[in-house]
Amino acid sequence: MSISLSDVAGVLFAEMVNRRRDEFFSLPALDQLADLDFVRAATKIALCEVPLGRFLGKAFDGASRIDVAVRMRPGEATAFELKLGTTRLGKRRVDQEWLACCSSSHGGRRWAGNMMAILDRRFPKPVAEELAVEVEGERLVLPLTWFVVAKRATLAAWKKLRPNFSSNVRLLAFEDVVDAFGGREPFNALAADVLRVDFYREWGLGDDTVL
């Protein structure tokens, strides 16, 4: 069994936000966006794999889930999409695949499109309706501003040849979030705490292994 950073990045990112909120919101890209009194008082502000609500009378495909949604203000949740691989992250792929315009599917009953395109409001026509998610029965509006979280090397490459992101997109280095969390040792401790995997069972070493 092999676990990559991409497999667990959402959970780790959300935990870093939830556990050290002041440090997270001290980052330059975030320090003016949050209602700090709200985020300090809320029980949990970062949530993983959050499904989108209906939009213009249509549901989104079942796979359309926000990697991490962070509640920064009452009634709102800001989307963070994590792209932490090391290959196939060039401008061409981002523009042609991830930012391709959304379209109707299932006979016009659903929306189809990459989450990046959805968050960037890449629909056939300009629309005024708000995107939203529902969390524990509460409807949370997604503001126009959203984030792509990637490694510093990826962001450096995008600085030279930037994908066709709209002005609503903000870029955030995953390493900056880790540094704000405290760096190597706190991050390693968090990963060990979160990834409580029973490798003995996963690798089929016990008597309860099903053949």
pTM reported for the whole predicted model:
0.90
How many structural domains is the chain composed of?
A: 1
pLDDT at 203: 65
Q: Is residue 195 part of a domain?
A: yes
Q: Is residue 198 part of a domain?
A: yes
Domain of 70?
Answer: 5-52+64-85+131-202
Q: Would you say 15 and 47 are in contact if contact means Cβ atoms under 8 Å apart? A: no
Q: Is residue 106 part of a domain?
A: no
Is pLDDT of 74 > 70?
A: yes
pLDDT in tens, 79-128: 999 999 877 888 999 999 999 999 988 777 789 899 999 999 999 888 87
Q: Is residue 192 part of a domain?
A: yes
Query: Higher-confidence residue: 198 or 112?
Result: 112
d(C-alpha 77, C-alpha 61), whole Å: 20
Q: Is residue 177 part of a domain?
A: yes
Q: Using CA of residue 128, residue 113, residue 80, residue 92, what is the dihedral sign?
A: negative
Q: Is residue 98 part of a domain?
A: no
Q: Would you say 171 and 6 are in contact if contact means Cβ atoms under 8 Å apart? A: no
Q: Is residue 100 part of a domain?
A: no
Q: Is residue 121 part of a domain?
A: no
